[in-house]
């Protein structure tokens, strides 16, 4: 996890990994907001073309891939438990082209971003981050029971908080995300 007081000298790989991690948060937040709108629309409140849904789901996966592959946490065990559910979610989504268990695929992606939100809430004081795991878990659970507009509202809230996190992250120096490289377990 990052230590903002420690200013590490970053090489090219460090800079790229931080940029990809932050880009993943941004992409995930934007596509989560879009998916929330799709869920609210599917509840019959307004119409969204069906073809957009696949693009949005792909964007959610892309955001998770960028962030999970480049997360900066000292403990490799914690890193594994944050990133691995995202890879499972991606696998489930790819192997289920009809999206019969979409709530499960998204639930795994949401576990990864819940871990990222909690990690960021320990490092930086960003309003609302500790609520993101609840919003994402409840949103996935409500999808299981086809309570779409309720799920959409919770995912909308999570998306707003993550978009705010993204904005704050892009304003921070890159070394804040890395911390002390000598403390990482490889």
* pLDDT, tens digit (0-9, with 9 covering 90-100), for 95-152: 998 889 999 999 999 999 999 999 999 888 888 999 999 999 999 999 999 999 999 9
85 within domain boundaries: yes
| Phi, psi of 161, deg, nearest 5 | -65, -45
Cβ–Cβ under 8 Å, residues 136 and 114: yes
Handedness of CA 52, 55, 61, 63 (dihedral sign): negative
Dmax (CA) of the chain: 53
Does residue 109 fall inside a structural domain?
yes
Enumerate helices (H) and strands (E) in the chain, giving the number of each: 7, 0
Let me know if residue 3 belongs to a domain: no
In a domain, 88, yes or no: yes
CA-angle at 66, arms to 134 and 59, nearest 5°: 70
By residue range, what is the domain housing residue 89?
12-183
Q: Is the pLDDT score of 5 beyond 70?
A: no
In which element (H, E) is residue 178 found? helix 175-178
CA distance 162 to 27: 10
User: Which run of H or E residues covers position 40?
Assistant: helix 12-40
Query: Which helix (H) or strand (E) is 134 found in, with range?
Result: helix 132-144
If you average pLDDT over each of 41-50, 124-133, 161-170, which comes out highest? 161-170
In a domain, 7, yes or no: no
Q: pLDDT tens for residues 81-100?
A: 999 999 999 999 999 988 89
pLDDT value of residue 123: 82
Burial class of residue 110 (count of CB atoms within 10 Å of its CB; 0-12, 13-18, 19+): buried
Instruction: Judge whether 162 and 28 are in contact, CB under 8 Å.
Output: yes
Rounded CA-CA distance 23/3 in Å is 20
Region 64-76 average pLDDT? 94
Nearest to 57 by CA among 97, 85, 8: 97
pLDDT of residue 94: 94
Distance from C-alpha of 152 to C-alpha of 3, rounded to nearest angstrom: 35
179 domain-assigned: yes
In this prediction, residue 8 carries a pLDDT of 77
Q: How many folded domains does the chain comprise?
A: 1
Has residue 5 been placed in a domain? no
**Cβ-based neighbour number of residue 5 at 10 Å:** 8
In this structure, what are the phi and psi dihedrals at residue 85, rounded to the nearest 5 degrees?
Answer: -60, -30
Could you tell me if residue 79 is inside a domain? yes
């Amino acid at each position: 996890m990052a230590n903002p007081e420690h200013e590490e000298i970053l090489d090219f790989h460090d800079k790229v990994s931080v940029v990809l991690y932050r880009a993943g948060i941004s992409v995930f937040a934007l596509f989560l907001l879009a998916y929330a709108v799709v869920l609210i629309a599917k509840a019959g409140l307004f119409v969204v073309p069906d073809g957009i849904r696949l693009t949005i789901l792909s964007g959610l996966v892309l955001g998770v891939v960028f962030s999970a592959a480049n997360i900066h946490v000292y403990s490799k065990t914690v890193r594994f438990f944050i990133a691995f559910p995202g890879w499972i979610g991606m696998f489930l989504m790819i192997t289920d082209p009809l999206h019969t268990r979409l709530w499960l695929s998204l639930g795994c992606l949401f576990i990864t971003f819940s871990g990222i939100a909690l990690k960021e809430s320990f490092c930086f004081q960003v309003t609302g981050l500790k609520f993101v795991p609840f919003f994402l878990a409840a949103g996935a659970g409500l999808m299981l029971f086809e309570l779409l507009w309720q799920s959409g509202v919770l995912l909308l809230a999570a998306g707003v908080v993550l978009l705010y996190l993204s904005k704050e992250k892009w304003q921070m120096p890159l070394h804040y995300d890395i911390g002390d490289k000598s403390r990482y377990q490889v």
